[in-house]
Homo-oligomer: A and B are copies of this chain.
Amino acid sequence: MANEKIPYKIYLEESEMPQSWYNVRADMKNKPAPLLNPGTHQPMTAEELGGVFCADLVQQELDNDTAFIPIPEEIRNFYKMYRPSPLVRAYCLEEKLQTPAKIYYKFEGNNTSGSHKLNSAIAQAYYAKKQGLKGVTTETGAGQWGTALAMACAYLGLDCKVYMVKVSYEQKPFRREVMRTYGASVTPSPSDTTNVGRKILAEHPGTTGSLGCAISEAVEAAVSTPGYRYVLGSVLNQVLLHQSVIGLETKTAMDKYGIKPDIIIGCAGGGSNLGGLIAPFMGQKLRGEADYRIVAVEPASCPSLTRGRFAYDFADTGMVCPLAKMYTLGSGFIPAPNHAGGLRYHGMSPILSQLYDDGLMEAVSVPQTKVFEAAEQFARVEGILPAPESSHAIRVAIDEALKCKETGEEKTILFGLTGTGYFDMVAYEKFHEGQMDDYVPSDEELAAYFAQLPKID
Chain A contact residues, CB within 8 Å of chain B = 7-9, 11, 13-14, 77, 80-82, 91-92, 110-112, 114, 118, 151, 154-155, 173-174, 177-178, 180-183, 376, 379-385, 420, 422-423, 425-426, 428-429, 432
Contact = CB atoms under 8 A, between A and B. Distances in A.
A203 B11 CA distance: 56
A110 B422 CA distance: 12
- The complex is assembled from copies of this chain, and their number is 2
B13 A173 contact: no
A452 to B, nearest CB: 39
A164 to B, nearest CB: 15
Given A8-B14, A423-B422, A383 B81 contact: yes
Contacts of A180: 428, 432
A80 B111 contact: no
A151 to B, nearest CB: 6
A151 B9 contact: no
A178 to B, nearest CB: 6
A178 B385 contact: yes
Given A7-B80, A154-B380, A422-B423, 8 more contacts: A8-B14, A11-B11, A92-B155, A112-B384, A155-B383, A181-B385, A181-B432, A422-B422
B174 A81 contact: no
Contact of A384 (B14, B111, B183, B432): B111
B181 A383 contact: no
Given A81-B92, A81-B382, A155-B380, A181 B111 contact: no
A420 B92 contact: no
For A118, A154, A380, the residue with the greatest tally of chain B CB atoms inside 10 Å of its CB is A380
A111 B180 CA distance: 24
Nearest to A12: B11
A90 to B, nearest CB: 10
Given A8-B81, A13-B7, A80-B8, A380 B110 contact: no
A80 B152 CA distance: 31
A112 B110 CA distance: 10
A181 B428 contact: yes
A388 to B, nearest CB: 12
27 contacts: A8-B80, A8-B81, A11-B11, A81-B92, A81-B382, A81-B383, A82-B383, A112-B379, A112-B383, A112-B384, A112-B385, A112-B420, A114-B422, A154-B380, A155-B380, A174-B422, A177-B425, A177-B429, A178-B385, A180-B428, A181-B379, A181-B380, A181-B428, A181-B432, A182-B379, A183-B380, A422-B423
A112 to B, nearest CB: 4
Nearest to A96: B155
A445 B8 CA distance: 52
A286 B40 CA distance: 79
B182 A380 contact: yes
Given A81-B92, A154-B380, A384-B112, A432 B9 contact: no
Nearest to A110: B110
Please provide the 5 A-B residue pairs with the shortest distance between their CB atoms, ordered closest to farther: A174-B425, A8-B80, A154-B380, A177-B425, A422-B422
A340 B266 CA distance: 39
Contacts of A428: 177-178, 180-181
A264 B182 CA distance: 28
Nearest to A89: B80
A381 B92 CA distance: 35
A384 B154 CA distance: 12
Given A92-B81, A183-B380, A380-B154, A178 B423 contact: no
A84 to B, nearest CB: 9
Contacts of A7: 13-14, 80
For A110, A111, A114, A183, the residue with the greatest tally of chain B CB atoms inside 10 Å of its CB is A110
Contacts of A425: 173-174, 177-178
